[in-house]
A and B are shown apart, each in its own frame.
Chain A
């Protein structure tokens, strides 16, 4: 069964509603959101409340419900230069 959720982009304060099938993975949600915001550089992660979501988990495994809010955040990688 599909659920409708809201994905927020922490970097630009924008958000998008998304329909997610129960067998879809967190990585699919990240890819769809990244495509929507045309993100082509950098890595990013998705969190639900105070939990960082595991990319291989499905919507069922993370207990995704209608109107849940997920936040997409940039994942920094610099520090040596």
Chain B
């Protein structure tokens, strides 16, 4: 008789067979997921299934009907009745009883404590990205940002002392950000409807979580350096290297050290 050992008792047995994945480190990692929409749903699903057990989700929005085509955890009965962060936390917890998910229905700009080991950006605007990026960089927390537009997407990995999100931005990003504020004429932000589909969302969120797994497993050397672009129309992906922008505000301290 062939004895297969304890493989059927360990939820993560198959993951442990990937030689670089450190499941114990994954269990202990404190994750912040910023955004609980299309990318956030997919990222949290992947995080929980991969064994992350300490997750904080920040999102200020409630659920609308157009979310239902891309968000695994949302149901029709949630529309206009529930906050995204709460629902993702509640339903993702069903995937693993060991997971502890803390939902925060606030703007990322209102988050006071940044006591995390890793941050995933699952956002839809440059302003919130810049805020998350600057805080991640200031506190020395690795930041893995995802973004999509239709069948086009990207993943950027920001490690302490490396180029950050702002280093790769230019005046077109600033103009885009300003446009959103001037459209409303107030402090609130107008967010245009950006094309989105679940297949691209899944690919981008999946890559984000895989990069996070490399970092927390001590294999940041295998990470994307620094931005991968994905074109779902052509089925192509390529990676480009970024450099630290000498005018980037986030690197001032390093330059004056």
A79–B245 contact, CB under 8 A? no
Whether A27 is near chain B, meaning CB under 8 Å from some CB there, is yes
1/0 per residue, CB under 8 A from A, across B28-49: the answer is 0000000111111000000000
Q: State how many residues of chain B have any CB contact under 8 Å with chain A.
A: 52
A79–B241 contact, CB under 8 A? no
Most chain B C-beta atoms within 10 Å of own C-beta, residue among A57, A77, A79: A79
Partner of A79, one of B61, B147, B244: B147
| Given A43-B172, A50-B240: A80 in contact with B122 (beta carbons within 8 A) | yes
Complex CA distance for A74 and B169, rounded to whole angstroms: 12
Complex CA distance for A47 and B191, rounded to whole angstroms: 27
Write out the residue numbers on chain B whose beta carbons fall within 8 Å of the beta carbon of A47. 240
Interface residues of A in 41-58 (CB under 8 A from B): 41-47, 50-52, 54-57
Complex CA distance for A45 and B193, rounded to whole angstroms: 21
Whether B176 is near chain A, meaning CB under 8 Å from some CB there, is yes
1/0 per residue, CB under 8 A from A, across B142-161: the answer is 00001111001110000000
Whether B194 is near chain A, meaning CB under 8 Å from some CB there, is yes
Q: State how many residues of chain A have any CB contact under 8 Å with chain B.
A: 29
Whether A67 is near chain B, meaning CB under 8 Å from some CB there, is no
A79–B122 contact, CB under 8 A? yes
**Least distance between A49 CB and chain B CB atoms (Å):** 8
Whether B133 is near chain A, meaning CB under 8 Å from some CB there, is no
1/0 per residue, CB under 8 A from A, across B188-222: the answer is 00010111100001001000000000000000000
